[in-house]
Chain A
């Protein structure tokens, strides 16, 4: 199978076969230089709610939970501040994904539209030779529209407007979080890696993956167009 050059991240998420996956979509219009900060603000806010302290399992199936610290982040290009989990590893991972997304947006040559997705999933172990299943239970999609501004005055207004928009997004996210809908059951020690990402040393987010798509001007994703081209070529 030929996969077109694209994001280094995982392929776009598949719909869950047996479980309902909660899906939320947020949309933002930002200037190119605001993309990173806006994405980080949203992703960090979601992960703040979807991370716990590190589990320490004790005898008889009980466990204790570590402490999650938080810190304020000021944006440079947006009149906005947000709170993130105090974990450098997590911050690095998010920044890496967002940077790739930003670069892809810039290089795509499209008119600056794309989306980045944060998916929380559970692993279901399958028997050999089948690989483990990834079953998403929550999917956050941020649709991004990059705008070009003509002068400094417009940029200043954009700073404020995007700041206000992000405030609304944070409120939306908190609303969703407050619904207390499906969350994976707290796992036993043997199952913890199927539910949580235990690779970080100071916090423990639910298993997640980040992917993105760049939209070409026809509104279809680039990968879809490429696949179609290849299929057509092969059919000849």
Chain B
């Protein structure tokens, strides 16, 4: 049947509507990903240039790109206009976030009036697009862009390519408008597993300055069009200045005063180390200082023990993490009793017996703002070696700590200075100064007559409440005065503390001694030829047995 054909005027109008609708669609999408709030004014007097009676600004570059992609064509069946929104980090990793598709299908609505209904419905569809562009996950990401990542757009025309969105992407339909030549459909497919892209992940990277993307990274379709940043302002502010990378690194020293209650004074001085070229430890590069700690803050729960701030016992020195970002040229000191001045490095907290936990918490010096004190993004690699203290012995630690322990009272064996550098074993500072050599290891070289020496004997040399038992070089701790609670027992003649010290180093098991071990090994070796002969003789039987098992 011959339907009423579209008049040529109507056809011309319709084509124009679709063309400008496509251009406005691109503007709305890109502007919604600029990272800024959009605001346009209503005007009661029609200006004549506001298509679809909506005040949508035209960013010239965007119009230019859209026209280039369309190349004079209109969306038609099999020829869709797509706006791809993606994210690119400062390291160059990029990820597709959304594909907005303007498609045409064959379902025609011949009855509909072009100049009136189609136009108004296109206007309504643009309003829906304004609303929907704010509710997909990429909107919130785009509002936070600029420092760690930028949002890019790319327009292409042809077949929709959704493979870059990862698995499980979701789609939302913005709307449809039927026309005499087909039905226009506007929809969005978006990646949903953006949960991995929390801002925490991006805290580690320095700000991106002035990036104008004119090439693309790992595009699966080499013939596709170039990517553009949504935020054109990124190119404008080249004025951000970053402090130069420090050659020296901050060093934190702790020291105890000699009389109880002990005070811990945290002294930060600048030590001059050779600035070794940093090494990339993983794909997400970590800059020096400041930002590294934001990672630790959230992941490793390090807690600083300011027990030494005059509260609680002062047996052990706790290594203190120096929160980066400090470029001071003079030492900073924690506030302790009797000390004046200085910047409090760690807010004083009473030690609520948390020293048993032996956890550390790193508190940022300047209230948690790490972004300022970062070097320029050209510093690609970071230091692996330094770790301030065992617990945070991740490659991201960049500080050395020197622990100076002045021992408190009642300590038999003062350890004057323990310098630990480049160690990442836990509680490295408590390891004895002399590194254990193999010949000291009782497992390798057992004591001459392990049975004769009674464990009690060794401990009898300990003097009162002194810390270490004599003759024992394997003390991991220097115990000043171990007074465990409820340790006195009427039944047992000794108290818990003594018991502990006595049996701290039990004699080794006899089966583990080399002599006996060697003996049995020798026996085994001797009996081998015999056993082999037996097996050879009965080899047929054995084979048959194995067959039954198959």
**A residues at B contact (CB < 8 Å):** 45, 48-49, 52-54, 56, 64-72, 74, 79, 81-83, 85-87, 166-167, 170-171, 173-175, 177-178, 180, 186, 201-203
Q: Which among B44, B116, B128 has the greatest number of chain A C-beta atoms within 10 A?
A: B44
Chain B positions within 8 Å of A175 at CB level: 173
Give the complex CA separation of A12 and B128 in angstroms. 29
Can you sample 11 A-B contacts with CB below 8 Å?
A48-B127, A49-B131, A53-B42, A68-B42, A69-B43, A70-B55, A72-B134, A81-B37, A86-B41, A174-B131, A178-B176
- 9 smallest CB-CB distances across A and B, nearest first, come from A178-B175, A167-B135, A72-B37, A69-B40, A71-B39, A69-B55, A202-B42, A69-B42, A54-B44
Q: Given A49-B127, A56-B45, A81-B139, check contact A70 B54 (CB 8 Å).
A: yes
Known: A65-B46, A178-B125, A180-B124. 9 other contacts (CB 8 A): A64-B46, A70-B127, A70-B130, A72-B39, A81-B37, A85-B42, A86-B41, A167-B136, A178-B176
Residues from 146 to 204 in B contacting A, C-beta threshold 8 Å: 172-176
Which residue of A has the minimal Cβ distance to B132?
Answer: A174
Q: Does B140 contact A (CB under 8 A)?
A: yes
Chain B positions within 8 Å of A64 at CB level: 46
Chain A positions within 8 Å of B47 at CB level: 67
Contact in complex: B39, A68 (CB < 8 Å): no
Contact in complex: B132, A170 (CB < 8 Å): yes
Partner of B42, one of A45, A66, A74, A81: A66
Mark B108-129 against chain A: 1 for CB-CB distance below 8 A, else 0. 0000000010000100110110
Give the complex CA separation of A71 and B47 in angstroms. 19
Contact in complex: A83, B128 (CB < 8 Å): no
Q: Nearest-CB distance from A89 to chain B (Å)?
A: 10
Chain B positions within 8 Å of A67 at CB level: 42-43, 46-47, 50, 53-55
Q: Nearest-CB distance from B115 to chain A (Å)?
A: 12
Which residue of A has the minimal Cβ distance to B186?
Answer: A178
Which residue of A has the minimal Cβ distance to B130?
Answer: A83
Chain B positions within 8 Å of A53 at CB level: 42-44, 46, 53
Chain B positions within 8 Å of A83 at CB level: 38, 130-131, 134
Chain B positions within 8 Å of A71 at CB level: 37-40
Contact in complex: A79, B53 (CB < 8 Å): no
Q: Nearest-CB distance from B26 to chain A (Å)?
A: 17
Which residue of B has the minimal Cβ distance to A175?
Answer: B173
Chain A positions within 8 Å of B39 at CB level: 69-72, 86
Chain A positions within 8 Å of B45 at CB level: 56, 66
Give the complex CA separation of A155 and B544 in angstroms. 73
Contact in complex: B130, A202 (CB < 8 Å): no
Q: Given A48-B130, A48-B131, A170-B132, check contact A66 B44 (CB 8 Å).
A: yes
Q: Nearest-CB distance from B120 to chain A (Å)?
A: 8
Q: Nearest-CB distance from B385 to chain A (Å)?
A: 38
Q: Which among B116, B127, B135, B174 has the greatest number of chain A C-beta atoms within 10 A?
A: B135
Partner of B44, one of A72, A174, A177, A201: A201
Majority secondary structure, B binding face: mixed
Give the complex CA separation of A166 and B47 in angstroms. 34
**B residues at A contact (CB < 8 Å):** 37-47, 50, 53-55, 116, 121, 124-125, 127-128, 130-132, 134-136, 139-140, 143, 172-176
Q: Nearest-CB distance from B296 to chain A (Å)?
A: 22
Partner of B41, one of A54, A69, A74, A81: A69
Give the complex CA separation of A180 and B44 in angstroms. 25
Q: Given A53-B44, A69-B42, A202-B43, check contact A178 B128 (CB 8 Å).
A: yes
Contact in complex: A86, B55 (CB < 8 Å): yes
Contact in complex: A66, B43 (CB < 8 Å): yes
Which residue of B has the minimal Cβ distance to A169?
Answer: B135
Which residue of B has the minimal Cβ distance to A167?
Answer: B135
Give the complex CA separation of A201 and B116 in angstroms. 24
Chain A positions within 8 Å of B42 at CB level: 53, 66-69, 85-87, 202-203
Which residue of B has the minimal Cβ distance to A73?
Answer: B37
Q: Given A66-B44, A86-B42, check contact A171 B172 (CB 8 Å).
A: yes
Contact in complex: A82, B173 (CB < 8 Å): no
Chain A positions within 8 Å of B46 at CB level: 53, 56, 64-67
Q: Nearest-CB distance from A30 to chain B (Å)?
A: 17
Chain A positions within 8 Å of B125 at CB level: 178
Chain A positions within 8 Å of B44 at CB level: 53-54, 56, 66, 201-202
Contact in complex: B40, A177 (CB < 8 Å): no
Contact in complex: A86, B140 (CB < 8 Å): no
Q: Nearest-CB distance from A24 to chain B (Å)?
A: 15
Contact in complex: A70, B135 (CB < 8 Å): no
Which residue of B has the minimal Cβ distance to A168?
Answer: B135
Contact in complex: B53, A174 (CB < 8 Å): no
Give the complex CA separation of A203 and B45 in angstroms. 10
Which residue of B has the minimal Cβ distance to A53?
Answer: B53
Give the complex CA separation of A174 and B174 in angstroms. 7
Q: Given A56-B45, A68-B42, A178-B175, check contact A49 B134 (CB 8 Å).
A: no
Partner of B40, one of A70, A81, A203: A70
Q: Which among A48, A66, A70, A170 has the greatest number of chain B C-beta atoms within 10 A?
A: A70
Give the complex CA separation of A65 and B44 in angstroms. 8
Chain A positions within 8 Å of B37 at CB level: 71-72, 74, 81
Q: Given A69-B41, A167-B135, A178-B128, check contact A52 B172 (CB 8 Å).
A: no
Give the complex CA separation of A65 and B47 in angstroms. 9
Chain B positions within 8 Å of A86 at CB level: 39-42, 55
Q: Which among B38, B46, B136, B140 has the greatest number of chain A C-beta atoms within 10 A?
A: B46
Chain B positions within 8 Å of A85 at CB level: 42
Contact in complex: B140, A79 (CB < 8 Å): yes
Partner of A173, one of B43, B130, B131: B131
Q: Nearest-CB distance from B51 to chain A (Å)?
A: 10
Chain A positions within 8 Å of B176 at CB level: 178
Chain B positions within 8 Å of A56 at CB level: 44-46
Chain A positions within 8 Å of B172 at CB level: 171
Give the complex CA separation of A64 and B43 in angstroms. 12
Q: Nearest-CB distance from A97 to chain B (Å)?
A: 21
Give the complex CA separation of A49 and B40 in angstroms. 16
Contact in complex: B55, A68 (CB < 8 Å): yes
Which residue of A has the minimal Cβ distance to B174?
Answer: A174
Contact in complex: B54, A68 (CB < 8 Å): yes
Give the complex CA separation of A35 and B248 in angstroms. 54
Which residue of A has the minimal Cβ distance to B36?
Answer: A72
Q: Nearest-CB distance from A227 to chain B (Å)?
A: 39
Q: Which among B37, B131, B136, B173 has the greatest number of chain A C-beta atoms within 10 A?
A: B131
